[in-house]
Amino acid sequence: MRSSSDGVFTNGELVPYGPIELNPAAAVLNYGQGLVEGLRAHRKEDGSIVLFRPEENALRMRIGADRLCMPAPSVEQFLSGVKQTILANKRWVPPTGKGSLYIRPLLIGNGAILGVAPAPQYTFVVFVCPVGHYFKGGLSPISLLTEEEYHRAAPGGTGDIKTIGNYASVVSAQKRAKGKGHSDVLYLDPVHKKFVEEVSSCNIFMVKDNAIITPLLTGTILPGITRRSIIEIAGNLGFQVEERLIAIDELLDADEVFCTGTAVVLSPVGCVVYHGRRVEYGNGKVGAVSQQLYSALTAIQKGVAEDSMGWVVQLN
């Protein structure tokens, strides 16, 4: 689907997966005018396919587009592009319990421009790929290395939108952490270098004395759709839920820690390393609260539990 800078997206069509032609002077290549989204489609036991809160992805893309001075497809156009692409590829949605179909909507400034300014043309593309677990071992505890040199995002920057440049800035820290045997990187806030922010591609929570606590969205953290869903699910299950600053020392003293995201779903954290100090949670086992929230979340996402929040979209 394409648009000039007037923001009217037209000419959506289904085409076979393949390279996109780009002008070397495309704004996305030179000035980073690009946004991504991520969703998962699950196959239910009856063979039908469901999506989880896709309007939230459409709205988040529109907020990001506004920040980057880009036009964005309407919520209806976004949903229609996502649904049509899934249905055209429905044979790739794995059977129940065998994974899911990852959906990647992409909005780029493909128009050519030299000099920093909004692109004259934009393209919205959706592609899909069957996936399994993001972290090796599925629902088994991951290990996080706290990053002490780099930050994921800067105050007043673009850390709270899903723009492509945010991922460029995490690759080296993530590579270093993986090289040392960790699953991913835990980022601290860029001002005090003491408050927990998030992980390269997921949000973080801690459990302490039956309270579930997640960092306040201060502008440098991506407002995850899974994060918001877990806050609501935990509240409905009777947990005390808090969104506030979490000092790293407090996280190190938590009963349980877990990460949330479309790709990682809910991944328990078994170990955090900070300043060379290694803190372990749960003796290598998944904590009871993490397990309870994982089960509640995935039952809704897979269309197994009753969808009392109206979060699940049935595709066929």
- Residues noted as catalytic: 162
Identity of the residue, 186 or 202, whose beta carbon is nearer to ligand PMP in the bound complex: 202
Identity of the residue, 111 or 184, whose beta carbon is nearer to ligand PMP in the bound complex: 184
Which of 146, 214, 262, 301 binds ligand PMP (CB under 6 A)? It is 262
Four-CA torsion 291, 295, 301, 305, nearest 10 degrees: -160
Which of 85, 100, 174, 203 binds ligand PMP (CB under 6 A)? It is 203
Which of 71, 261, 268, 270 binds ligand PMP (CB under 6 A)? It is 261
- The reply on whether position 202 binds ligand PMP by CB under 6 A is yes
Q: N- to C-terminal Cα distance for the chain?
A: 23
In whole angstroms, the minimum distance from the beta carbon of 204 to ligand PMP comes to 9
**Cα–Cα distance measured from residue 124 to residue 298, given in angstroms and rounded to the nearest whole number:** 29
Site for ligand PMP in 85-144 (CB under 6 A): none
**Cα–Cα distance measured from residue 211 to residue 48, given in angstroms and rounded to the nearest whole number:** 37
59, 93, 125, 242, 265 from 223: Cα distances, Å: 12, 27, 22, 15, 15
**Cα–Cα distance measured from residue 278 to residue 208, given in angstroms and rounded to the nearest whole number:** 19
Q: Which stretch binds ligand PMP (CB under 6 A): 21-29, 133-141, 223-231, 286-294?
A: 223-231
H-state helical runs in the chain: 27-31, 54-67, 75-88, 164-168, 171-179, 225-236, 248-252, 288-301
Which of 12, 32, 38, 190 binds ligand PMP (CB under 6 A)? It is 38
In whole angstroms, the minimum distance from the beta carbon of 187 to ligand PMP comes to 9
Which of 42, 83, 227, 302 binds ligand PMP (CB under 6 A)? It is 227
- The reply on whether position 160 binds ligand PMP by CB under 6 A is no
Kind plus residue range of the DSSP H or E element containing 4: strand 2-4
- Residues that bind ligand PMP in the complex, under the rule CB under 6 A: 38, 162, 198, 201-203, 222, 224-227, 260-262
